[in-house]
Amino acid sequence: MSSVLVVGSVAIDSVKTPFLSRERSLGGSATHFSVAASFFTDVGVVAVIGEDFTAEDEAVFRERNIDTKDLERVAGGKTFFWKGEYGFDLNTAHTHDTQLNVFAEFKPKLSADARKSPYLFLGNIQPTLQREVREQVDAQFVAMDTMNFWIESARDELVKTIGVVDALIINDAEARQLADEPNLIKAAKQILAMGPKMLIIKRGEYGAACFTEKSFFATPAYPLENVFDPTGAGDSFAGGFMGYLARTNKPEDMMCVRRGIIYGSIMASFNVEEFSCDRLRRVTSIEISDRLTEFKQFTHFDLDETLANSQFEPTKAKSSTSAPRAR
């Protein structure tokens, strides 16, 4: 039994950015999530792949000790394929080709051990499937992701699924679309009314924000000079977040939630530095700790007690008796 179970996609990506391109790289929500989460706890994956999934692809999971016994391989099938391109606005992906292949008929098959996982992440799959998986797993904390396609095409099913999870993790555009509200604060209130205990909004290079009925927390993104491939950044964020929560096992503690968001941001920052999971595969515990220290340094400040306790009343203008200066 794994502490964290992720149900989502494992894919083969072809990605082009303004800096580099790669014709074939390992991707998918379950891939990026599981690799990021594996630095904090043990992880199991439920997904489907085809015969074209190579031993080199599988090595990414093996070297991080990710449990793949529920990774279904379809004989004669092809793995989900996505081809996309980013311009200089790395927050926006332009899709050129999507081939669902074996993912089109994906029906998650959960082993008895998988159903006992205490933490569950529902990656970006059809909302009805997400809810069916959630009903099979007696988890103490469940988070989910979704995307604009499901918001548009399966809104009613999506809202039902949102109502049975603890946390919804989506980006700012998706939050506005889901709530049909341009203001994020108002949008967050509407989404929380759908049932989740918390809403985490990913804002790309601008960081992330967490909303509950009684609290709000926001953090910037880790500042990077080199961003090569943002594919999977959101899933790496979710992996770091869920992995840390599972490690501490205190999902009701908002301070742990806040730290989890920071760790999520850190794992996402590593993910975008290279294609696929290449950078995450080489990350060390020391590097994670160093970025955590830097995060604390650039987000910390002390109150000026004198000003904090003042009334901030306008200062009175001083009268001047001096003669006007000649021009």
User: Helices (H) and strands (E) in the chain — how many of each?
Assistant: 12, 13
Domain 4-294 classified CATH 3.40.1190.20?
Answer: yes
Domain residue extents for the chain: 4-294
Kindly write down the DSSP assignment for every residue of 77-113, as one continuous string: ---EEEEEEE-S-TT-EEEEEEE-GGGGG------TT
Note the residue count of the chain.
Answer: 327
Kindly write down the DSSP assignment for every residue of 130-196, as one continuous string: HHHHHHH---SEEEE---HHHHHHSHHHHHHHHTT-SEEEEEHHHHHHHHT-SSHHHHHHHHHTTS-
- Provide the residue-wise pLDDT of the chain in tens; the chain has 327 residues: 789 999 999 999 999 988 888 999 999 999 999 999 999 999 999 999 999 999 999 999 999 999 999 999 999 999 999 999 988 888 788 899 999 999 999 999 999 999 999 999 999 999 999 999 999 999 999 999 999 999 999 999 999 999 999 999 999 999 999 999 999 999 999 999 999 999 999 998 899 999 999 999 999 999 998 888 899 999 999 999 999 999 999 999 999 999 999 999 999 999 999 999 999 999 999 999 999 999 999 998 887 777 667 666 666 666 555 555 555
Burial class (CB in 10 A: 0-12, 13-18, 19+), 126: middle
Read off the pTM: 0.92
Question: CA 31, CA 108: separation in Å to the nearest integer?
Answer: 15
CA angle (93 as vertex; 88, 97 as ends), nearest 5: 130
